[in-house]
Amino acid sequence: MVAVQKMLAHGISEEMIPIRLARAFYVDIDELNAVLEMVRQSRKPAPGPSNSYKAA
């Protein structure tokens, strides 16, 4: 997961991550897809009210 986050931070697209990783390592594509999904979910803003306070 750390490698995926670093690659995304350096501007590598999600589509290129498997290619880059496969050059150096054996890559379990199903596991990589799960990691990419976790990273996507962690990047989404948390749902909640748009205003956390109200003016009195």
Greater confidence, 19 or 45? 19
Q: Which residues contact 50 (CB under 8 A, 6 or more apart)?
A: none
pLDDT of the residue at 37: 93
pTM for the full predicted model? 0.58
pLDDT of the residue at 45: 75
> What's phi and psi for 38, nearest 5 deg?
-60, -40
- Alpha-carbon span 7 to 52, nearest angstrom: 34
Would you give the end-to-end CA distance of the chain in angstroms?
45
pLDDT of the residue at 8: 93
Q: Do residues 38 and 7 make contact, with C-beta atoms less than 8 angstroms apart?
A: no
Residue with tokens 């990589």: 32
Joined together, the tokens standing for residue 49 give 């009210």
